[in-house]
Amino acid sequence: MQKTIAKPSSLRHLNKLRWLILTLVFSILVLLPFIHLYQTYVAAHAYDLLLPNEKIIYDAMEWLTEPFVSNPERDLDLVKGTTWSGTLFGLRLSDPLAVLSQIATSLSLYWPFILTALIPVVATIILGRFFCGWICPATFIYELNDTLAAWMRRAGVPLGDKVYDKRIKYIILAGGLVLSMLLGSIMTAAIYPPAIIGRELYYVIAQGAFGSGAVFFILTILFDLLVARRGFCRYLCPGGALYSLLGRYRLLRIQRVVEQCNDCKKCNVVCEFGLDPLEDGFGQECNNCTACIAVCPTDALKFKIQTYDQTFQGPGHLGHAYRNQQSGTSK
């Protein structure tokens, strides 16, 4: 009997929207240092004394921001900082890891800062580890890196695809916090790629040279490329660990609709975090990135609002295993 296959749903396009947001966040992080330079040029009141390349920056930024601001020195201060801690149109937002590290290191509660993580924390409790897939500027580079790795594999370059224990990152989170507390200096900031990227982009554009974080970040890229696919995010990232813990009982979950699944396993292959959608293995580390939804040929993956994962529902009803099983029982 031929079962009807659902028509492609609009949820498939969420992955494109996600890429749009990732690109947007990354380009804002590139743009902000240039805006900072423009502001300093304006503050200096000396356009004629600028070097030719500085004049290009001045003119470009003036052209870009003129429609929105009357006083660039003051008005452009509304958007500052990075995803680690930033000001977005006057609203201060911080990474929960930044807040947790600051509490652990200073051993005190500074409420004006803690409250800046309120919106991200609430959003993570509802949406899960969405930061990792939808906003993180490091994910932007890591996913491009992953695409590069796929091309290289196709071209026959042997790349490592090791699998480690995903719980390593929780140890790194705890270790990083304890180390920060003992050293009296926030160490998690130095090993957290999104924080590094924001800083390093600012250093290289506005201060003229990369800092030490760039070396660390290049090492993580090489680790991802040569040792383990998306290895840093999957096994090592302390921020990802914290987001996973916060999103453990998230409301919005991608779940498998067993009636429409044909066991093709594309979801497992595409999953950036090495999860197991095919056997309902989403867990706390799913970041709702929707890559599996986009790739599923039979639209068997849907969003559901519930605080727990379904237990393994057996093989998909459109697949061979289920058909054989059915014919076996009917005999």
The residues binding another protein (CB under 8 A) are 32-33, 36, 39-40, 43, 73, 77, 80-82, 84-87, 92, 94, 98, 101-102, 105-107, 110, 112-113, 116, 179, 182-186, 189-190, 195, 198-199, 202-203, 206-207, 211-213
Taking the C-alpha atoms of residue 268 and residue 275, their distance in angstroms, rounded to an integer, is: 6
In angstroms, give the least distance from the CB of 113 to another protein.
5
In angstroms, give the least distance from the CB of 213 to another protein.
7
Identify which of residues 205 and 252 has a Cβ nearer to another protein in the complex.
Answer: 205
In angstroms, give the least distance from the CB of 63 to another protein.
21
278 Cβ neighbours under 8 A, 6+ residues apart? 256, 261, 263, 265, 267, 268
Identify which of residues 198 and 274 has a Cβ nearer to another protein in the complex.
Answer: 198
Please give the torsion angle defined by the CA atoms of residues 311, 316, 322 and 323, in that order, rounded to the nearest 10 degrees.
160
Identify which of residues 29 and 292 has a Cβ nearer to another protein in the complex.
Answer: 29
Please give the torsion angle defined by the CA atoms of residues 194, 200, 206 and 207, in that order, rounded to the nearest 10 degrees.
150
Identify which of residues 17 and 43 has a Cβ nearer to another protein in the complex.
Answer: 43
**Residue in the block written with tokens 């800046």:** 116
In angstroms, give the least distance from the CB of 275 to another protein.
31
243 Cβ neighbours under 8 A, 6+ residues apart? 96, 124, 128, 129, 131, 132, 287
In angstroms, give the least distance from the CB of 115 to another protein.
10
Identify which of residues 77 and 309 has a Cβ nearer to another protein in the complex.
Answer: 77
Helix (H, G, I), strand (E, B) or coil at 229: coil
